[in-house]
């Protein structure tokens, strides 16, 4: 059996491709599946998606359970608070009904209104509490105090009524004054409004007149601008015609001819017909000038470099000299400091020796100190 060649027309599983098309397919990672287990990759993707969905479902169930427990705890807390509130209300109601201060045995000892509610020792001559041996009248007794208080209350009520009438009269006067002031303010406001309307009308009329005058001036300005533009256009046209007909600007060769020797001499200031040799001579002169300028620039750059080098060497020399001066100053300061420290040490040693000589060798003995306070004075 003869097998067909791969890539031939009789090979059933392939097609004939151009090399460039096949290279493009090979380089396309989205379409290249050679050596890749697509089914396994799809299975992994599906497994990850299932795990992710299961994880999301588990998290959702956990959230639902947490919300349910939270609502239940809130309900239990509200129920507990309601029970506690009801118990507190029952205790307060029981205390108000059965444990009042007036029902206590020792209330009379701390009753704040006991003196006010107590009955007097004698209400009058017919008081059954008084007998033959009882005192019939006490010092400072006033049995007419009640009637007097009633009369005083009536008198105070009449006085209060009079004061109320006077106050109402003052309030009525103030109210009338306020109404009059309101009327004055209303009239002033009306006058101000009328004046403002008159001023606004006058301003509108003035603005209309100003607008009309501005329009007239704008028309005049526009006409003047149009006239100026037309004059400028005419001047430009005349200048263009003059330039077009000018023999100098149009480079008329007749101007280059000298009047002294026509055909043999030309005017240098109007000459336009230089030959190739003359143009080459001019170009050669320009080239020489450029070379001379380049040489001069190089010489100037070299001189500037030399000057910069000289300035830099001078600056370095000055810096080195300054460093040497600073080093010399530091050495001098160190030497002075060493001298001062040596002198200070010598002085300290001499002072110590002097103290040892004066106080530690027995120069001042007991006889010296015994003389203090022994004077006859």
CA angle 175, 177, 180 (to 5 degrees): 110
pLDDT in tens, 124-172: 777 777 776 666 666 677 777 888 999 999 999 999 999 999 999 999 9
- How far are the Cα atoms of 152, 263, 326, 337 from residue 331, in angstroms, in the given order? 113, 95, 9, 10
CA distance 105 to 102: 8
User: Residue 33 above 60 pLDDT?
Assistant: no
Question: How confident is the model at residue 9, as a pLDDT?
Answer: 55
Question: How confident is the model at residue 220, as a pLDDT?
Answer: 94
User: Residue 184 above 80 pLDDT?
Assistant: yes
Question: How confident is the model at residue 363, as a pLDDT?
Answer: 58
pTM: 0.23
Q: Rounded mean pLDDT of 340-361? A: 82
pLDDT in tens, 260-287: 666 666 666 666 666 677 778 878 888 9
Question: How confident is the model at residue 29, as a pLDDT?
Answer: 66
**Contact by Cβ (8 Å): 138, 122:** yes
Q: How many CB atoms lie within 10 A of CB 141?
A: 13
Question: How confident is the model at residue 18, as a pLDDT?
Answer: 65
Question: How confident is the model at residue 25, as a pLDDT?
Answer: 65
pLDDT in tens, 69-116: 999 999 999 999 999 999 999 999 998 888 888 888 888 888 888 888
Model confidence at 341, pLDDT cuts 50, 70, 90, reads very high
CA angle 235, 241, 243 (to 5 degrees): 100
Model confidence at 365, pLDDT cuts 50, 70, 90, reads low
CB neighbour list of residue 130: distance below 8 Å, 6 or more residues apart: 122, 136
Question: How confident is the model at residue 367, as a pLDDT?
Answer: 65
pLDDT in tens, 299-331: 999 999 999 988 999 999 999 989 999 999 999
Query: 244 versus 157: which is more confidently predicted?
Result: 157
CA–centroid distance for 152 within its chain: 73
Question: How confident is the model at residue 100, as a pLDDT?
Answer: 83
What average pLDDT does the chain have? 83
What's the chain look like in SS3?
Answer: CCCCCCCCCCCCCCCCCCHHHHHHHHHCCCCCCCCCCHHHHHHHHHHHHHHHHHHHHHHHHHHHHHHHHHHHHHHHHHHHHHHHHHHHHHHHHHHHHHCCHHHCCCHHHCCCCHHHHCCCCCCCCCCCCCCCCCCCCCCCCCCCHHHHHHHHHHHHHHHHHHHHHHHHHHHHHHHHHHHHHHHHHHHHHHHHHHHHHHHHHHHHHHHHHHHHHHHHHHHHHHHHHHHHHHHHHHHHHHHHHHHHHCCCCCCCHHHHECCCCCCCCECHHHCCCCCHHHHHHHHHHHHHHHHHHHHHHHHHHHHHHHHHHHHHHHHHHHHHHHHHHHHHHHHHHHHHHHHHHHHHHHHHHHHHHHHHHHHCCCCCCHHHHHCCCCCCC
Query: 85 versus 29: which is more confidently predicted?
Result: 85
């Amino acid at each position: 059996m003869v097998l067909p060649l791969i890539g031939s027309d009789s090979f059933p599983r392939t097609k004939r491709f151009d090399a460039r098309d096949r290279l493009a397919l090979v380089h396309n990672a989205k379409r290249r599946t050679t050596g890749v287990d697509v089914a396994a990759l799809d299975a992994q993707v599906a497994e990850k998606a299932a795990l992710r969905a299961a994880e999301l479902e588990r998290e959702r169930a956990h959230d639902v359970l947490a919300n349910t427990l939270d609502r239940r705890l809130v309900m239990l807390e509200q129920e507990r608070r309601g029970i506690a509130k009801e118990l507190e209300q029952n205790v307060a109601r029981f205390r108000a009904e059965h444990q009042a201060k007036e029902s206590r045995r020792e209330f009379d000892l701390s009753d704040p209104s006991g003196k006010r509610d107590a009955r007097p020792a004698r209400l009058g001559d017919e008081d059954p509490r008084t007998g033959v041996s009882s005192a019939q009248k006490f010092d400072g007794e006033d049995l007419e105090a009640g009637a007097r208080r009633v009369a005083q209350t009536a008198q105070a009520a009449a006085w209060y009524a009079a004061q109320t009438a006077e106050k109402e009269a003052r309030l009525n006067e103030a109210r009338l004054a306020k109404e009059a002031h309101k009327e004055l303010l209303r009239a002033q406001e009306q006058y101000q409004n009328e004046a403002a309307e008159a001023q606004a009308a006058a301003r509108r009329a003035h603005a209309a007149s100003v607008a009309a005058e501005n329009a007239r001036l704008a028309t005049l300005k526009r006409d003047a601008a149009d006239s100026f533009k037309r004059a400028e256009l005419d001047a430009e046209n005349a200048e263009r015609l003059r330039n077009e007909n000018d023999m100098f600007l149009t480079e008329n060769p007749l101007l280059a001819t000298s009047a002294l020797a026509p055909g043999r001499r030309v005017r240098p200031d109007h000459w336009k017909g230089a030959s190739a040799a003359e143009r080459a001579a001019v170009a050669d002169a320009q080239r020489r000038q450029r070379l001379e300028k380049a040489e001069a620039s190089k010489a100037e750059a070299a001189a500037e470099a030399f000057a910069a080098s000289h300035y830099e060497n001078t600056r370095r020399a000055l810096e080195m000299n300054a460093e040497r001066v600073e080093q010399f100053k530091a050495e001098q300061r160190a030497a002075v400091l060493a001298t001062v420290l040596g002198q200070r040490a010598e002085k300290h040693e001499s002072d110590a020796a002097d103290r040892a000589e004066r106080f530690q060798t027995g120069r001042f003995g007991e006889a010296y100190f015994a003389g203090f306070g022994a004077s006859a004075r």
